[in-house]
């Protein structure tokens, strides 16, 4: 092992720890309780507290909302190894993510690979600083798993496109500032080859959204309608009719992020501690209910194993040995783990876990988050579709 590198790593770790200790407000070191605690950024985002705002701004100033992006576009310019140290130190101190966004998880990586220099400079710094919140316009009423069947039409007229059509399940479309959107630009071509990737402002004339109310009582997503929306030609990413490649690349990031994030959010909140507080302990401090104790132990072992798998996958990617299809395996298993966590949380909470309203249950957080977790095996591509990809691309099963 190279000693110089080791010394540099150790020094970076020490500086990082000291900076986090000095700059992460105490409130931002407590586990998030629900999606309402997440900092999404954007023009209309209301920070929950001064601490949340200060934390996001301090991290953004260092480029650490997107530690691995180049400095020129608002990132921290960290190597993968340094970014791993930062993640580890944040986890050790219990620091919350300063900023979560579809811009960071999905659009950013796609723009870094396929965007023009002008597009990178226009959009990436605003994502890194949490100024613009993005939503994802992929699914349509007739195009979910079979995404390439999408029918939203964009006609090129001189220097702009005119977009007409409908998207569905557009998460947070009513709160987003901009959308990255798949549109059909060639109706004669085979379905995968007539698609383009457009960016536009949700405040453009002709864009409307209608929230969809879910069983959890919340409306995290919308139907999104486009009626003669004018989009400058400069907002096309990549080539016209070349959007499918970008769409697929973005999906692998989305799937990896969903898998990884579900694990990180779960790891931030100890299920064992929650269960002990909710269901009680015996004379030696163990969970009183032996069945629940065993189920939680099994879950926590699987969660640790999944964490190790994520690390190994990141190491393989660093060495250039990653397989994009593996994001499907991570997405599938991350979703299953998160659903299990919420089943166990409801079991531990007993009758209290079913309370829907009231201060004591913080308006039914346990029940609502449990219901929300059911969507994990649908969002970002369903579990069945992920298993098909694993069967075909990774296992090479005949007939898959």
Which residues contribute to the site for ligand FAD (CB under 6 A)? 135-139, 144-145, 169-171, 221, 375, 378-379, 381-382, 384-385, 388
**DSSP code string of 117-186:** HHHHHHHHHHHHTT---EEEE--BTTBSTTGGG---EEEEETTEEEEEEEEEEEETTTT-SEEEEEEES-
Cβ 305 to ligand FAD shortest distance, Å:
25
> Which of residues 136 and 347 has its CB atom nearest to ligand FAD in the complex?
136
Cβ 146 to ligand FAD shortest distance, Å:
6
Cβ 210 to ligand FAD shortest distance, Å:
14
Identify which of 91, 89, 96, 107 has the alpha carbon closest to the alpha carbon of residue 35.
96
Instruction: Give the residue nearest to ligand FAD (CB).
Output: 144
Q: Report CA-CA distances (Å) from 186 to 157, 234, 278.
A: 14, 18, 57
Torsion, CA 167, CA 170, CA 176, CA 182, rounded to 10: -50
Residue pair 195/150 in contact by the 8 Å Cβ criterion: yes
Cβ 37 to ligand FAD shortest distance, Å:
18
Q: How far apart are CA 259 and CA 197, in angstroms?
A: 24
Residue pair 134/177 in contact by the 8 Å Cβ criterion: yes
Cβ 145 to ligand FAD shortest distance, Å:
3
Cβ 380 to ligand FAD shortest distance, Å:
6
> Which of residues 96 and 372 has its CB atom nearest to ligand FAD in the complex?
372
> Which of residues 15 and 145 has its CB atom nearest to ligand FAD in the complex?
145
Burial call 261-281: b when 16+ CB within 10 Å, e when fewer = ebbbbbbeeebbebbbebbee
Cβ 161 to ligand FAD shortest distance, Å:
19
> Which of residues 210 and 273 has its CB atom nearest to ligand FAD in the complex?
210
In sequence order, the β-bridge partners of residue 171 are: 221
Q: How far apart are CA 117 and CA 260, in angstroms?
A: 29
> Which of residues 106 and 124 has its CB atom nearest to ligand FAD in the complex?
106
Task: List, in order, residues 6 or more apart from 393 with CB less than 8 Å away.
Answer: 323, 325, 328
> Which of residues 55 and 102 has its CB atom nearest to ligand FAD in the complex?
102
Cβ 138 to ligand FAD shortest distance, Å:
3
Residue 201 is inside which H or E element, if any?
Answer: strand 195-201
> Which of residues 151 and 388 has its CB atom nearest to ligand FAD in the complex?
388
Specify the pairing of strand 221-232 against strand 178-184. Answer: unpaired
Integer-rounded Cα Rg, in Å, for the chain is 22
Q: How far apart are CA 394 and CA 400, in angstroms?
A: 11
> Which of residues 292 and 371 has its CB atom nearest to ligand FAD in the complex?
371
């Amino acid at each position: 092992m190279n000693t110089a590198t080791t010394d540099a790593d150790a020094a970076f770790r020490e500086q990082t720890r000291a900076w986090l200790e000095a700059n992460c407000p105490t409130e931002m070191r407590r586990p998030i309780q629900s999606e309402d605690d997440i900092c999404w950024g954007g023009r209309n985002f209301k920070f929950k507290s001064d601490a949340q705002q200060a934390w996001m701004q301090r991290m953004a100033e260092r480029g650490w909302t997107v530690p691995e992006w180049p400095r020129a576009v608002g990132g921290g310019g960290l190597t993968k190894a340094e970014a791993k140290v930062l993640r580890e130190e944040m986890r050790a101190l219990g620091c919350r993510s300063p900023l979560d966004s579809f811009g960071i998880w999905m659009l950013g990586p796609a723009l870094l690979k396929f965007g023009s220099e002008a597009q990178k400079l226009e959009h990436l710094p605003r994502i890194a600083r949490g100024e613009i919140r993005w939503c994802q316009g992929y699914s349509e009423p007739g195009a979910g798993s079979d995404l390439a069947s999408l029918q939203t039409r964009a006609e090129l007229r001189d220097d702009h496109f005119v977009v007409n059509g409908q998207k569905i399940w557009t998460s947070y479309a009513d709160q987003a500032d901009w959308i990255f959107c798949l549109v059909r630009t060639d109706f004669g071509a085979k379905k995968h080859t007539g698609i383009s990737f457009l960016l536009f402002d949700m405040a453009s004339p002709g864009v409307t959204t209608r929230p969809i109310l879910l069983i959890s009582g919340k409306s995290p997503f919308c139907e999104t309608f486009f009626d003669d929306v004018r989009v400058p030609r400069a907002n096309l990413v990549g080539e016209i009719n070349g959007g499918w490649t970008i769409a697929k690349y973005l999906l692998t990031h989305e799937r990896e992020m969903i898998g990884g994030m579900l694990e990180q959010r779960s790891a931030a909140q100890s299920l064992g501690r929650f269960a002990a507080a909710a269901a009680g302990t015996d004379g030696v401090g163990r969970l009183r209910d032996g069945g629940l104790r065993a189920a939680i132990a099994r879950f926590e072992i699987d969660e640790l194993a999944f964490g190790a798998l994520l690390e190994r996958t990141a190491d393989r990617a660093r060495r250039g040995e990653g397989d994009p299809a593996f994001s499907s395996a991570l997405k599938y298993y991350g979703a299953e783990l998160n659903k299990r966590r919420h089943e166990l949380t409801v079991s531990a909470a007993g009758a209290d876990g079913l309370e829907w309203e009231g201060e004591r249950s913080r308006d039914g957080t346990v029940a609502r988050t449990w219901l929300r977790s059911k969507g994990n095996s649908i969002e970002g591509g369903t579990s069945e579709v992920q298993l098909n990809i694993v069967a075909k691309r990774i296992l090479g099963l005949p007939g898959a």
